[in-house]
Chains A and B, each alone.
Chain A
Amino acid sequence: ELKVEQNPLFLSMQEGKNYTIYCNYSTTSDRLYWYRQDPGKSLESLFVLLSNGAVKQEGRLMASLDTKARLSTLHITAAVHDLSATYFCAAPRSGSARQLTFGSGTQLTVLP
């Protein structure tokens, strides 16, 4: 059974600082998803990482995937308040690219 572990669960950081969210998954997967969720809202797709060594960047967020280590990271550079949200990683089950198992989520609060 696929398990996805995300840490930290809660992250409070000051504006301008850098930090990394980690996502470990238990079985082989060739892709990994990152989502953002604002309170009371649905999921916003941030990144889909499709191969080992994949790196994607959008603004202050950069995601990477190491399929051998079964690890993905979401790096936040020079955080700003607008990045405050909950971030989820998700991995697909074997045989189905869209049946996703989600991590517990990281609730990020960026303080002024």
Chain B
Amino acid sequence: SAVISQKPSRDICQRGTSLTIQCQVDSQVTMMFWYRQQPGQSLTLIATANQGSEATYESGFVIDKFPISRPNLTFSTLTVSNMSPEDSSIYLCSVETRYPEAFFGQGTRLTVV
């Protein structure tokens, strides 16, 4: 299986600031995915990050708000910019591997105050 590490595991941030979340995987992967889980809700795909190309964003998510980097085949970052309390969520990273399972990182619990 793939081991996916996310940092930070949790944070409390002031509104108007930005937070960058890191996702590190223990093997090279082609695609990495970022999801958001708002309190009491299901998971929603934010964007797909391929190495060497711009991330592809889902409807309702824009690059200015959620810039993503993918500098190599094992690492990606998601930044939540100009945060408001509505951004309080769990953010999860997932990867595509040769295994049939879709693995997730442990998540980053963000609270915006």
Contact = CB atoms under 8 A, between A and B. Distances in A.
A20 to B, nearest CB: 19
Select the residue from B44, B104, B105 with max chain A CB neighbours within 10 A: B104
Contacts of A90: 43, 102
Interface string A77-99: 00000000000101010001111
Main secondary structure of the interface of B (DSSP, over half): strand
Interface in A31-49: 31, 33, 35, 40-43, 45, 48
13 contacts: A33-B102, A41-B107, A42-B92, A42-B106, A43-B92, A45-B101, A48-B101, A97-B96, A98-B94, A98-B102, A99-B33, A99-B48, A100-B43
A50 B48 contact: no
B45 A101 contact: yes
A102 B42 contact: yes
Contacts, number: 56
Nearest to A104: B42
Interface of A: 31, 33, 35, 40-43, 45, 48, 50, 88, 90, 92, 96-105
Contacts of A101: 45
Nearest to B107: A42
B33 A45 contact: no
A40 B109 contact: yes
Given A42-B90, A45-B102, 8 more contacts: A40-B109, A41-B107, A42-B92, A90-B43, A96-B48, A97-B102, A98-B31, A100-B45
Contact of A88 (B31, B43, B105): B43
Contacts of A103: 42
